[in-house]
Structure 1
Amino acid sequence: MAVLAPFLVLFVFILGIHKVEPTQDTLDSLDASFCHGGLEVNYPELDIDKCLIIPKDLKLREKISTVWEAPQVYFSGAQKEKMYVLVMVDPDAPSRIKQTSAYWRHWLVVNIKGNALKKGKLQGTALTEYHPPTPPQKTGFHRYQFILFEQPPHTPVSLADQERSSRGKWDFQAFITKFGLGEPVASLQFLTQNFKD
């Protein structure tokens, strides 16, 4: 047994320094660290509660782009008496290498009641109706980010005429600053690419 000990130590050492290279099914550390706060997004056959890449099997990429409507959104940390703002954006429009149309606004709901959000119901006002993830062909993976903010009391949140006229090239940071939204209370993202790629 004493003879095996050095080999076991060497084996553990080799395993410890072995680094898993990202594959199409593995998030890099920056993408994995985006998710925090306990936000959950549930589609009919896909529950998302952590950062992930949508798998190609079971036609999930196709369903999320062409079949499923807006997901249910849960936030167990919602405070009943507070209001929230939910934003869904694609910061990789038209591609992660060329983000000239970022942020693409897929969904924007304001005045969300905290007590409903705890139950997975978005009782609020949609300023931008839900549009499913539809990354163009041959543009690689896109990040689809769900970001939840606490809405300051007595603060009406709206979009300017110019913002309403186009979903692309949205100045997301200016929107956050304008309405004093501060840091998100929770965020979640998934990566997917065109289902034909």
Structure 2
Amino acid sequence: MKLLMAVILTLGLMAMVAGQLPKNEDRMCVHQMLSQGDALFCKGNLNVIYPEIGDVGCMYVPECNDFRQKISSWSQPSIKYSQAHEGDSLKTGNISGSELTGYQPPGPPPQTGFHRYQFILFEQPERGKPITLSTKEKAKRGSWSISDFIKHFHLGSPVATNQFLTQNYHDF
């Protein structure tokens, strides 16, 4: 094992010395987890699954394999929560129900660094106001306050949360 590791290290150093770094597609795809502070948001085993990458929860979307570009065009991820009390749809990721607003893929503008994309799961109260968005909230995804929404509909504490970070694919 030590010999094999030495050979791999030597080949890597030779490529660097010769100035021939491997192309992006040839590099190993590293899934970097979020910092300890950012990881505190990830609670409750909520999975956010995109094609090709898998579960992006609590990590940076890797730059390899054009994942940062692809994630901006893929359809909505599969969301799974294995500890759901009732309903196999949330356990399997085949969620159905009333959609408040359509999915929009991540699209961080160029030269703005990493952006957070957060997923928050609440248990819907059995009784109470029907959950809807106001006209103002429907107009623009970023035009409303999540904390006001939670208070208005008496949602309480989240059951599970997750997030990932990505940046514009032209920025690296």
**Scaled by the length of structure 1, what TM-score is found?**
0.67
Q: Higher RCO, 1 or 2 (CA under 8 Å, sep at least 6)?
A: 2
How many Å apart are 1:150 and its aligned residue? 0.4
Cα deviations across residues 31-72 of structure 1 (Å, max 9, x unaligned)? 111101011111111222640001101100000012x10111
- Return 5+ residue gaps in structure 2 as ranges: 1-31
2:84 corresponds in structure 1 to 78
- Return 5+ residue gaps in structure 1 as ranges: 1-24, 81-113
Matches within 5 A, 1:10-25: 25=32
Retained in 2: the 8 A contact 1:39–1:49? no
Cα deviations across residues 99-124 of structure 1 (Å, max 9, x unaligned)? xxxxxxxxxxxxxxx33111211111
Matches within 5 A, 1:11-90: 25=32, 27-48=34-55, 50-66=57-73, 68-80=74-86
Aligned pairs, number = 139
Higher strand share: 1
Identity of aligned residues (%): 49
RMSD: 1.3
* 1: CA distance, partners of 2:170 / 2:144: 27
2:150 corresponds in structure 1 to 176
Secondary structure, aligned partner of 1:133: coil
**Scaled by the length of structure 2, what TM-score is found?**
0.77
The letter of the residue matching 1:69 is: S
Secondary structure, aligned partner of 1:137: coil
Secondary structure, aligned partner of 2:38: helix
* 2: CA distance, partners of 1:159 / 1:27: 31
Match of 1:120 among 85, 88, 93: 93
The letter of the residue matching 2:117 is: Y
> Which stretches of structure 1, 4 residues or longer, exceed 3 Å deviation after superposition?
none
Retained in 1: the 8 A contact 2:89–2:96? yes
